[in-house]
Amino acid sequence: MSNLSANVSIEFPTAAPATPYAERRPLPVLDIKHVSKVFTVGHQTVQALRDVNLTIQKGEFICLIGASGCGKSTLLRIMAGFEKASSGIVNMYGMPIAGPDPQRGMVFQDYGLFPWLTVKENIGFGQRQRNLPKARLEEISAYYTDMVGLTRFADYYPGQLSGGMKQRVSIARVLANECEVLLMDEPFGALDALTREKLQQDLLEIWERTKVTVVFVTHAVEEAVMLSDRVVVMTAGPGRIEEDITIELSRPRDITAIEFNEVRRNMTRHLSSHVSSKVAA
Ligand SMILES: Nc1ncnc2c1ncn2[C@@H]1O[C@H](COP(=O)(O)OP(=O)(O)O)[C@@H](O)[C@H]1O
Ligand SMILES: [Mg+2]
């Protein structure tokens, strides 16, 4: 039997090796570096994006805002891996994005549901491809169906649902794929105002609960101020990032509050001065 007497000296490592602060911070979930995109159609080329740089930390809620044609969807599709950048790179946790991956789920304005599958089958679709045991699959589907408040409609088909309900299914479907980044392209653009407000609130609740990172494209200032930690302003010709504005309002945000209106008013004024100075130039 060993005898650990007082004169046995054990050497503990002293201080950790000196690492510069920046290197010890966790890697950003998405890091977009010098991304440009040129489309060629026949003999013509369109520069959709020029030298876009954007760093997104895990759990952030980012809104991309800008006029039609400034490259918002193109940038989102590059983040998803559906489209390749002409130059530059997008890293996810330091690894270059090589193609689509369920870790980055896309939600479109037109839902993209399978009409022949029920709500719970649509939600479990991605997991079904992984050949999970039936009981586990049902558990996952039920969990996310409940998260978006559709348990009562689990056996309905998309054709039997309202637009807001369809969008809930499409959000639940990407979350059920264990997605880390929710990429949303004007997801509430086709909904009436009341449904949109309700879905915004529900999305915020889901975001707070799941800690998913959200990149949300919109052209509505109010929506951007309601939802985001940062509003990234894009401009066209060619598409690029003009500004990155942090929204300091505390949560939950109240659309009727004086502070909310002030931020919204300033942002609207700011965006329209961008547009008019471009027109004047
Ligand atoms: N697949 C494509 N082929 C050719 N041009 C495209 C393609 N996708 C987008 N573009 C062009 O790139 C620019 C940006 O488009 P897009 O990203 O859809 O803008 P936004 O989503 O901000 O409205 C536009 O000029 C558009 O016509
Ligand atoms: Mg678009």
Q: State if residue 71 touches ligand 1 by the CB under 6 angstroms criterion.
A: yes
Judge residue 13's burial from the number of C-beta atoms within 10 Å of its C-beta, 0-12 exposed, 13-18 middle, 19 or more buried: exposed
| Confidence at residue 55, expressed as pLDDT on a 0 to 100 scale | 98
**Shortest-distance atom of ligand 1 to CA 67:** 22
* Residue located via tokens 């998309």: 158
Task: Tell the residue nearest (CA) to atom 3 of ligand 1.
Answer: 39
Task: Tell the residue nearest (CA) to atom 4 of ligand 1.
Answer: 39
Task: Tell the residue nearest (CA) to atom 11 of ligand 1.
Answer: 48
What does the alpha-carbon distance between residue 123 and residue 175 come to, in Å, rounded to a whole number?
Answer: 9
| Confidence at residue 26, expressed as pLDDT on a 0 to 100 scale | 83
In the chain the first and final C-alpha atoms are separated, in Å, by 87
3-class secondary-structure state, position 169 = helix
| Confidence at residue 23, expressed as pLDDT on a 0 to 100 scale | 52
Domains defined for the chain, CATH in brackets: 26-103+181-280 (3.40.50.300), 109-179 (no CATH)
Q: State if residue 39 touches ligand 1 by the CB under 6 angstroms criterion.
A: yes
- pTM metric for this prediction: 0.89
Which residues does 266 contact at the CB level (< 8 Å), separation at least 6?
A: none
Q: State if residue 70 touches ligand 1 by the CB under 6 angstroms criterion.
A: yes
| Confidence at residue 146, expressed as pLDDT on a 0 to 100 scale | 96
What does the alpha-carbon distance between residue 271 and residue 217 come to, in Å, rounded to a whole number?
Answer: 16
Q: State if residue 250 touches ligand 1 by the CB under 6 angstroms criterion.
A: no
Quote the distance between the C-alpha of residue 55 and its chain's center.
13
Q: Let me know: does 85 contact 35? Beta carbons within 8 Å.
A: yes
Q: How many angstroms separate the alpha carbon of residue 245 from the centre of ligand 2?
A: 21
Q: Let me know: does 149 contact 124? Beta carbons within 8 Å.
A: no
Q: State if residue 90 touches ligand 1 by the CB under 6 angstroms criterion.
A: no
Which residues does 263 contact at the CB level (< 8 Å), separation at least 6?
A: 225, 247, 248, 249
Q: Which of 39, 50, 77 gets mutated to test ligand 1 (max ligand atoms within 8 A of its CB)?
A: 39
Q: How many angstroms separate the alpha carbon of residue 73 from the centre of ligand 1?
A: 7
Q: Which ligand is nearest to the CA of 110?
A: 2
**Shortest-distance atom of ligand 1 to CA 66:** 22
What does the alpha-carbon distance between residue 199 and residue 191 come to, in Å, rounded to a whole number?
Answer: 9
3-class secondary-structure state, position 214 = strand
Q: How many angstroms separate the alpha carbon of residue 243 from the centre of ligand 2?
A: 19
pLDDT in tens, the chain (281 residues): 444 444 444 444 444 445 455 555 689 999 999 999 999 999 999 999 999 999 999 999 999 999 899 999 999 999 999 999 999 999 999 999 999 999 999 999 899 999 999 999 999 998 888 888 899 999 999 999 999 999 999 999 999 999 999 999 999 999 999 899 999 999 999 999 999 999 999 999 999 999 999 999 998 999 999 999 999 999 988 999 999 999 999 999 999 999 999 999 999 988 887 665 554 44
| Confidence at residue 83, expressed as pLDDT on a 0 to 100 scale | 96
| Confidence at residue 9, expressed as pLDDT on a 0 to 100 scale | 46
Query: What's phi and psi for 175, nearest 5 deg?
Result: -65, -35
Q: How many angstroms separate the alpha carbon of residue 215 from the centre of ligand 1?
A: 18
Which residues does 120 contact at the CB level (< 8 Å), separation at least 6?
A: 138, 141, 142, 145, 154, 155
